[in-house]
Amino acid sequence: MKPDEPISTLKGIGPKTEELFHAIGVRTIRDLLFYFPRAYERYPEVRAIRELIPDQKNAVCIRVRKPPSVNRNSRMQTAVLDVRENNDSLRILWFRSPYIRSVIKAGETYVFYGRVTRKKDLLTMEQPEVLSPEKYEAQRMTLQPVYSLTKGLSNRQVQKAVEMALADPVPGSGYLNTGDDTKKDLALADLPLGLEYLPEDIRVRNHLSEYNFALKNMHRPADEQSCILARERFVFDEFFFFLLCMQLTKDQSASLANAFNFVQPGMRGKSATSDAAMNFVDSLTEKLPYELTGAQRRAIAQIQSDMRSEKVMQRLIQGDVGSGKTIVAFLAMLDCANSGYQSAIMAPTDVLARQHYHKLTQLCESLGCRYPVVLLTGSLGARQRREAFAVIEKEPNALIVGTHALIQEKVNYGNLALVVTDEQHRFGVKQRENFSLKGSCPHILVMSATPIPRTLAIILYGDLDISVIDEVPARRKPIKNCVVDISFREKAYRFMENQIREGHQVYVICPLVEASELSEGENVLDYTERLKSVFPEDIQISCLHGKMKPDEKNRIMEDFLANRTQILVSTTVVEVGVDVPNATVMMIENAERFGLAQLHQLRGRVGRGEAQSYCIFMQGEQQKGENRRLAVISKSNDGFAIAGEDLKLRGPGDFFGIRQSGDMIFKLADIYQDADVMGRASYEVTVLMKEDPHLSAAEHRVLRERLRDYAGEEFALLNL
C-alpha cells in the first residue's frame, strides 16, 4: 500500500463511505494517517444503576438473569433486556440486532456501556457495547481516539480504516530513541509513509520519538506516556516545518526593495510648504467621531514609516479583540490612495468582506475622501465581477476589498502597493508571488486578534515586524462575566429573552456539531432544537457550524448581522467573524472544555457596540468545584494578561480534551500549551540554516523531500 493511493483501496470503504471520508478532507492513505484524533478518552468507571447519569455515556455491570427478548413485530426488531439491581431498574435496547439474544446468556455477568436517557420514570440505555468485566477493565486502561466526524461517518469507521492502514507495513524495523543510551525495541515495521526525516541529532537533543513510533501511538497509544511522546513529536514537526519555511522565505522578503514612492508625511508634493505640515493621515484622524488610542497612533506611525523606507514592509498588527485594528488598516489604505497607489484588504469570508466594504465606503464618505472602493468576492455575479475587474485595472488609487478572489488569475492590478490580510491567511509565498507576477510587490500588513506574549510572537512571527495595540477604545464598556453551572440555565434563558426584547442579540457556543459516540458535551444541532422549544416563536434561532457549505454559512451570518435572527447557536467558527455591535450576550456551554485564549476570542464577539454586554460561562454537568481557567477569565477582559495566565495553567495532559486554541495555522500544535516545544523547534531551525542553508547535504535529503510535501506548490518558491 502506497501513501498516495486513494482511501478506497482499504477493505470495506466503498463509494459512499469514500465520499464521507472526502468530506473530512481524507482522500489518500497519507491523509488518513495524518488525520489525528482530536481527543482521547477513557471508558468510565462502572456505576450502580442508581448512580447512572442521564444524557451521558455510562458503564454498568449486571449479572443477567434471562436473555433479552426480541420484539419481531417492530420494524427494527428491537431486542429488550430489563435488569434490576436492588430496587433500581434499567431497560437496555438494541435496534436491528436480533442476534444479541444469542450473545447474552443467562447467569453471565456483563458490562454494558452506552448512553443513558430517562424516559418518564424509566432509565434506558440504547445500543450499548457489551463486554466481559475483564475485557472492560482492560479497555479502561487504554486511551480511545476520538476523531472529528461528519454526518454518516462513525468514530469506529475511522478507527478501523486507520488500523488497516497501520497494519500494512513494508519490511523494516522501528524503535523509540529519545536520546538516552538504550533503544526500546517496539517490534514495529516501517509504516507506509516511509523513512524518518528528522536528522538524528535533532531528535536526540530534543528527546523526540521516532516517526513510526509516533505515528502508531497517535492513533493507537500503548499508554498515556506513549501518547504524550507521539504528540510532542508531531507538534515539534509542525513548528519545525512552519518555522523552516518562514526562515527560507525571510531573507527573500527582506531583500525586496520598496518600489513605491510614497508622499512623505507633511510633504504633499513639490508645492508643499511649512503651512501644510499636517500629515494627511493625522488630518483624517481629526475628523473621526472618536479619539484614537495612543497604541493605534503608534501603529499607524510605524506603518507609515515602513511604507516610506527602502524595503517592502512586512508588519504584524497584534491587538486584543475590540482594540481597533481595522481602523488602523483602513487609514493605511487611505494613506496609499492619497499617495496615488492601490491597496487591498483580504477577508476570510464573503460576509466579513462585505462588512469591510460597507464600513470602508462609509468611512470615505464621512472623511470626504473620494477614492473608488471596490468589492471582489467569489459570490459576485458575472457582470459585477467584470465591473470590479475594470475598476481594479484602471483606477490607480482604488481601495479594494475581497476574499481569496483577489489573487485569482483574471485580476490585473494597476498599481497595488499594500495588501492587508489576517493571521488565518498569513499571506503565503505563493500569494505574494501571484501579486509579483501582476506587476507589483506590495507591502504586507497582517492583522492578528490573538494576544500572544511577546516572547512567543517573536518566534511565531519572526518574519514580520510587530506593532502591538494594547489599549481598548474608551467608548467600549467592559464585558460583565459570570461562571455558572447548569442549574443557572433557565435563569440564563430568561436573561437572554429580556436582552432580545430590548432589541439585542445572543450567541450560544457549543463544543460539538452533533452528538458524539465518545465525547460528552452540548452539540449545535440538538441545542438549536432545544432552544426552539424554550423560546417564543417570534424569536428566530439559527445554527452555524464548520461543516456547512460556504453559501449557507454566509446566509446565516448575514441574517444574524441584519437581526433577522436573534439567537445564533454555533461552534467556534464565529471566533473570527463579522462585527455584530447589536449582540450583547455570549453564552458558552461546556466552557471548561475550552482553553483561555479561545474563550477570550469567543467572548470578543460581544461588547462591540455601546450597550453593556455579558458573557456567561456555563460549566458542564460533570464539572465540580472552581475551574482555574474560568476563574481567570471571569475576572479579566485583558487578553494579554489572560495569555500570560494561559501559559502558566497549561499542562501536558490538556491535550486529552478538545483542541485548546483556535489558531488555524497548526492542526495539532498549540502555541500556548506547546510554547516550550516551539522554542526548541525555533532553535533547531536556526542551527540547521547556519549549517546547511539550502538543505543540500546528503544527510538532509529525506528532510528536503518531507519539506516538499509540507510546502506543496510553494516549495518551488523557497530559497533553496
Please, where are the H alpha helices in 438-523? 454-460, 489-501
Any alpha helices (H) in 547-674, and if so which ranges? 550-561, 596-603, 628-634, 639-649
Give the residue, 409 or 349, on which the prediction is more confident. Answer: 349
pLDDT at 28 over 70: yes
**Can you tell me the mean pLDDT for 428-435?**
62
pLDDT in tens, 229-252: 999 999 999 999 989 988 887 766
10 Å CB burial of residue 389 (0-12, 13-18, 19+) is middle
Average pLDDT score, the chain: 84
The string of pLDDT tens digits covering residues 33-66 is 999 998 888 889 999 999 999 888 899 999 999 9
Give the model's confidence band at 623: pLDDT under 50 very low, under 70 low, under 90 confident, else very high. low
Report residue 372 as a C-alpha cell.
473608488
- pLDDT > 80? residue 287: yes
Q: What is the 3-state secondary structure (H, E, C) of 280-336?
A: HHHHHHHHCCCCCCHHHHHHHHHHHHHHCCCECCEEEEEECCCCCHHHHHHHHHHHH
- What is the per-residue pLDDT for 2? 78
Q: Are 183 and 177 in contact (CB under 8 A)?
A: yes
Tell me the C-alpha distance between 715 and 325, whole Å.
32
Per-residue pLDDT tens for 124-171?
Answer: 999 899 999 999 998 888 888 989 888 889 888 999 999 999 885 533
User: If you average pLDDT over residues 19-34, what whole number do you get?
Assistant: 93
In this predicted model, what pLDDT tens digit does every residue of 482-535 receive, in sequence order? 999 989 999 999 999 999 999 999 999 998 887 665 556 788 999 999 999 999
The reported pLDDT for the residue numbered 432 is 60
Amino acid 454: pLDDT: 72
Indicate the residue type of 714. E
User: pLDDT tens across 382-399, in order?
Assistant: 999 999 999 999 999 999
Residue 598 CA to residue 290 CA, distance in Å, equals 29
**pLDDT tens digits, 654-698:** 444 433 333 446 888 887 778 899 999 999 999 999 999 999 999
Interval 599-619 mean pLDDT: 91
**What local confidence, expressed as pLDDT, does residue 423 receive?**
62
| H-helix or E-strand spanning residue 16 | helix 15-23
Cell of 313: 514592509
What pLDDT band is residue 475 in, cutting at 50, 70 and 90? Answer: confident
Give the pLDDT score at 577: 64
Give tens-digit pLDDT for 318-373: 888 788 899 999 999 999 999 999 999 998 888 888 989 999 999 999 999 999 99
Helices (H), 538-613: 550-561, 596-603
Examine the pLDDT at 429 and tell me if it is beyond 80: no
Cα 146 from Cα 557, distance rounded (Å) = 29
- Average pLDDT of the segment spanning 458-478: 81
Query: Sheet containing 56-63: which strands, arranged edge to edge?
Result: 46-47, 56-63, 109-119, 122-131, 88-94, 78-85, 69-71
pLDDT at 645 over 60: yes
Q: Does residue 711 carry a pLDDT above 90?
A: no
Q: Pick the residue with more confidence: 605 or 191?
A: 605
- Residue partners of 378: CB distance under 8 A and separation at least 6: 350, 403, 404, 405
Question: What does the pLDDT read at residue 251?
Answer: 62
What 3-state class would DSSP assign to 383? helix
- Of the ranges 186-190, 264-268, 575-579, which one carries the lowest mean pLDDT score? 186-190
Of 557 and 457, the structure prediction assigns the larger pLDDT to 557
Q: Is the pLDDT assigned to residue 466 strictly greater than 80?
A: yes
Give the contacts of 144 (CB within 8 A, at least 6 positions apart): 40, 41, 42, 43, 518
pLDDT of residue 265 exceeding 50, the answer is no
Query: Lowest mean pLDDT: which of 107-121, 134-148, 609-623, 706-720?
Result: 706-720
CA quadruple 454, 460, 464, 468: dihedral, nearest 10: -30
- Nearest C-alpha neighbor of 194 from the set 177, 176, 208, 174: 174
pLDDT at 119: 81
- The fraction of the chain above a pLDDT of 70, given in percent, is 85
Task: Taking residues 624-653, report their average pLDDT.
Answer: 75
**Total residues found in the chain within this entry:** 720
Q: How far apart are CA 624 and CA 617, in angstroms?
A: 14
* Highest-scoring range by mean pLDDT, 391-395, 552-556, 623-627: 391-395
Q: Is the pLDDT of residue 300 over 60?
A: yes
pLDDT value, residue 174: 38
Across the strands, what pairs with 585? 506, 614
Q: What is the pLDDT of residue 481?
A: 95
**Across 538-561, average pLDDT:** 89
The amino acid occupying position 37 is: P
Pairing of strands 170-176, 184-190: antiparallel
Contacts of 162 (CB under 8 A, 6+ apart): 32, 33, 35, 145, 219, 220
